[in-house]
Structure 1
């Protein structure tokens, strides 16, 4: 799994880079597409024109790698939900914490960036 960055900036370049990946994850709003993906993940990735790196990140569930390759957390979460992963789980992945540690940080008011 890739190493988390301190921050992610979604600019036009990053948006374009992640377009196919975000479009594919966005398709999971339809049950039929979720079923098609589950039946053959690699073929589904190919149908959306993912780069080899994006496809590998999806198949490996490299959440940080997907973000590094242009995916938005909001679309990544659609895939994570298919794996029954919570937003707290992803928050933990992106911050180097467990889901429980991340949830506790949120309950305590979050981290201070001062």
Structure 2
């Protein structure tokens, strides 16, 4: 750990292997099971287009979130261990409530979608 006060009490025990297993279980749990239904609903033309579009959007938003982990410099900047901390650094304290609300609403909507699936 570095001397950053944001790292006090945070112990990271994840490895590349645990990250890979998390991604595999997520893809098998929702993506593969819903893939046949998605293609049946959208067809063979729109299905792959939507699938590739959603993959690109997911990659883009993941890259943005990863870039927000340290502020303002990606190597020596302050660590933002939570989404709300990154919002506070980049957008200021006024926008914390609304960005947090939208993020948690998105998480609950995803939870509902996975539960239905």
TM-score relative to the length of structure 2: 0.26
**Greater RCO structure (CA 8 Å; 6+ sep):** 1
TM-score relative to the length of structure 1: 0.26
